[in-house]
Structure 1
């Protein structure tokens, strides 16, 4: 009986994500309180990258930057394969989910990768964290410029903002660089206390989910979503995620990446950034359709976090060299 209970022990991260999602949807949170939660989430994300910076040896980070093959593969998955899939889904599902949601799905496919969640899940899955930090950060910074260009090419829109680059630099890169300066003094202690990293990154992910859903709820992003439309949209977005997960995992195998680098391609190449997507949507789209366009981005963000949490836990425990990520979700 004890073994059975231990086997079905709730996963802290996945349970926390689901709980944060539900609370963000049903619990009224005033705008000023929501702003406080958003600030706390930003601090939590900064702490994650400070901890990573203190834990990772600088030589590992340099090696991650020098891995051109892996970095190129992540960028290709994010800005070539994903947009092509998004265009295909736009044409195939537009009549099913509606023009506004299909437009949001296409827009979603053009966004940069997440940074904090990608790196967090690579760490949990025991992948190459140094390469993940480099890949996700490069993807996000380039996305401030590439996403508006892709939107112009794919969606015939020409008004976008690149102001989010300051957020990436200040909230993510700066704490990491500070951590790197501290690494020679505290690195051994940090590497000996891995639970500190686990607690920090898991808590940050849960805070990010809660603050994002609360903001979307307060902005009225859910008002255009019916139950039936929500279910169909979730199925379509889940299918999109399953395809890109399968492509990145087996693409890593075809390219001959070792297991820890395949995990980087899987996690960094399949994510899309809510933090970048929502502000940019407000600049790119007519205010009348921003809410509907943002809904696929919001829903996909939650699905990718929940699926990635399951995959990361499985990969982190898995001893076999070739787990199948598309069967874990």
Structure 2
């Protein structure tokens, strides 16, 4: 069972198949325009359903834990970019300059919601705080990520779009549907909760669509001619180094600042994640279509790596003895409706 944790999950296999399909049968011209429209609609539906799923009670239950949230946000939006920039002279030779642009892009992305919460639950961490922190990170990322891209990668974005224009487009495509879904939660929340499989299909389907359109454009521009096999192996090593540094830092600082074990778990799993769901659509807005496929490739590899490593960590945390604090945390998450 433990060994299976190191094997790719079904979604990762679908991502690989999507990249292969785009490599052999890329769309272009009118077909590409059609897929762009379908992809935009699918992503809007995705964030609409996530807004309807988010419990206001969970937000209120976790929002008061400001020290934890500040630490998670600092790790996500300050530590990650610093690590990417500082280590660039050492790590960039392991990949290509264009691939390392994708590495820096993943460093400025918000935290993921689903896996951070799922691993926190598996490890018996502070669930209300995890829900609040991960959700807030996603919303902050809509504004913060384009600004950080301009700071960390001033020459990489589309020259026709400045940071404010990118923020406006991302808010229109992601934040507006999210808020609409959340405000309609009293009417559709139960339906979304009872049909969780539908949300999963929209989750995965929208990402697969974005990856397909992005890689189609990249293949038309000759992505595989520009990308040596050694660079892919180097990318796996670069992702592992960055993830290891962040996991070690979040664990150390959480203990150094006196957080209890449940809060430490939340900090580790929320602070070390990068969102594929937010990152892929934002890349399509921030970067030219021909570059987006190569830009999101490091994110796809990092995503799978973080899932495998954090699954093992969550199991290790879950094996610790029960304590009164842990019981209170579980009870608190039950009250919050998560």
Which TM-score tier does this pair reach, normalised by the shorter chain?
A: 0.7 to 0.9
Question: Is 1:104 matched with 2:78?
Answer: no
- 2:269 is aligned, of 263, 267, 273, to 263
TM-score by structure 2 length? Answer: 0.70
CA contact (8 A) 2:98 2:295 kept: no
Matched with 2:87 is 89
Q: Distance in 2 between matches of 1:221 and 1:109?
A: 19
Structure 1 residues 112-127: aligned runs within 5 Å = 112-113=109-110, 118-122=112-116, 124-125=118-119, 126=121
Structure 1 residues 202-213: aligned runs within 5 Å = 202-213=204-215
CA contact (8 A) 1:259 1:321 kept: no
Structure 1 residues 150-229: aligned runs within 5 Å = 150-151=152-153, 161-162=162-163, 163-229=165-231
Matched with 2:49 is 51
> Using a 3 Å threshold, how does the CA distance of structure 1 residues 305 and 14 change in structure 2: closer, same or farther?
same
SS in 1 for 2:227: coil
Mean CA deviation greater in 306-315 or 81-90: 306-315
CA contact (8 A) 2:76 2:109 kept: yes
CA contact (8 A) 2:5 2:312 kept: no
CA contact (8 A) 1:119 1:268 kept: no
CA contact (8 A) 1:54 1:180 kept: yes
Mean CA deviation greater in 138-147 or 188-197: 188-197
Mean CA deviation greater in 34-43 or 161-170: 34-43
Matched with 1:79 is 77
CA RMSD after TM alignment? 4.1
SS in 2 for 1:112: coil
Return 5+ residue gaps in structure 2 as ranges: 122-126, 321-338
CA contact (8 A) 2:52 2:188 kept: yes
Mean CA deviation greater in 253-262 or 209-218: 253-262
SS in 1 for 2:318: coil
> Using a 3 Å threshold, how does the CA distance of structure 1 residues 229 and 88 change in structure 2: closer, same or farther?
same
Q: Distance in 1 between matches of 2:250 and 2:311?
A: 18
SS in 2 for 1:273: helix
Q: How many corresponding residue pairs?
A: 303
Q: Distance in 1 between matches of 2:166 and 2:57?
A: 29
Q: Distance in 2 between matches of 1:249 and 1:199?
A: 33
Mean CA deviation greater in 47-56 or 304-313: 304-313
Q: Distance in 2 between matches of 1:33 and 1:45?
A: 18
TM-superposed CA distance for 1:207, in Å, is: 2.7
Summarize deviations over 1:172-199 as a string: whole Å, max 9, x none. Answer: 2112211122211232343344333333
Q: Distance in 1 between matches of 2:23 and 2:65?
A: 41
SS in 2 for 1:267: coil
